[in-house]
Amino acid sequence: KNKANSTKANERTMGRSTLWGFGTDFTSQKWLSLDPCGILCVSLSTSIHLFALFALGFKMISHYLLSQLLYALLYVPFSALALASLFMATTTDPGAVPMGARPIPANLASESDSIVTERDTVRGGLRRRRGIRRCRKCNDNYKPPRAHHDSVTGRCVVKMDHYCPWVCNAVGIMNHKFFILFILYTFLTAIVSLTLILIKFIRCGIYVQQPNHVSQDANNTLQHAVDSYYEEHQLQQQQNSGEQTKPGCDAEMNTESMIIFTLLVIVTILFFFFTCCMLIEQGEAVDTNMSKIARMKTRAGLSNADEYRPVATEFNEVFGGEHPTFSWHWFLPLPVRFPEWAHDNVLGYEYNSTFPPTPYQEPSDTDTESVASRGSSVSLGRMSVTSDRDLGDVESDIENVYVGGGVTLDQDSEHSSSMKKRSTAAPIT
């Protein structure tokens, strides 16, 4: 019994947690995902940026004005903006639906008249009723039309795109901008870093001393070949520039410098290709104003495109503002602002601090029909109820994965059309 109670309690929290006021719980004062894998990845993201910042500053730009200008005027600002965007993407509430949120009054009539399928916790089985959408994983809290449940943070997130461990947060309506800026500025830092590395190669070449453990004969032969090449290269430089050795170009790279240089090259190339692919994929989200989950469900025929269409064309839902075209605030990690007249419509719910912290209750005249039978399927008038065999399909919700793995779609239990395709109805005798 205790085990069952513990399991039930875990199901009710569904990943939500809080620590010293930070967390993703309904009562958390500051938003922060406490997912261990996400914390590890975001720490790695920050460490890589700082490593590249200092490695380039101490190893790639000494005694050369062009490299110093590129580093100071481009790399440092891009790196600072990338880290600021990462911080905002991690600590910003992605658009989690607060406990007690209510349907927008203008939409309440139409939402209350929709058909909802849910588990009957009293008599077992499933029941079909008319009413607003609710999320059983969020303790039956109201679920806005464009919201999806994130299993990592344990909250329903408006316009959820995916959960990204590299920012340790779900990506939704309120932090999608910061996620895009993070990968954009990381991509730009990778380009500048590659440029500085190439300049170092072209200007200085590379000279690697052979290790001592090589046999004496082989070592002498290899060393002689390398020395001959280097002397010839140095002589050519002297003839062209009249200098003995170019400033900032060491005669040889020691082990420590070689390790740092190799790591910098590997990290730069990996981040360049990774962020390039991510930017191409995210470009569609900016252009269509639709999240990845919405686009995939629409293409798979699981949802109607009208369900996820933008609420207005006067602004961009990813970057906010007052205009749908490019603006200077798009490129700065500033909080997303929507026009006051459209704020509630974008989020899909109404909420203020005076609302009680309990699930919104519909008017008592909501039409409800339930069936307690198990292992059978019956038809009540125009409504149908599926058997427990299809229970997993009906109650399936969004299970998101990390970047690079894709997204698993769910067939929301609210879509009666998909329910009719899966259920088998038998007439009442």
Quick one: 327 exposed, middle or buried, by C-beta within 10 A (0-12, 13-18, 19+)? middle
d(CA 269, CA 261): 12
d(CA 50, CA 70): 17
Select from 335, 282, 339 the least CA-distant residue to 316. Answer: 339
What lies within 8 Å, CB to CB, of 38 at 6+ separation is: 152, 163, 165, 167, 168, 169
Radius of gyration of the chain (CA): 29
State yes or no: is 277 an active-site residue.
no
Select from 293, 269, 12 the least CA-distant residue to 139. Answer: 12
Beta partners for 96? 157
Which tokens sit at 217?
């004969």
Of the candidates 135, 138, 164, 168, the residue annotated as catalytic is: 164
d(CA 101, CA 118): 20
Which tokens sit at 181?
């800026």
d(CA 330, CA 127): 46
d(CA 182, CA 201): 29
3-state secondary structure of 388: helix
Q: Are strands 22-23 and 30-31 parallel, antiparallel or unpaired?
A: parallel
**Spatial contact of 286 and 327, defined as CB atoms under 8 Å apart:** no
**Spatial contact of 94 and 169, defined as CB atoms under 8 Å apart:** yes
Which residues does the annotation mark as catalytic? Answer: 164
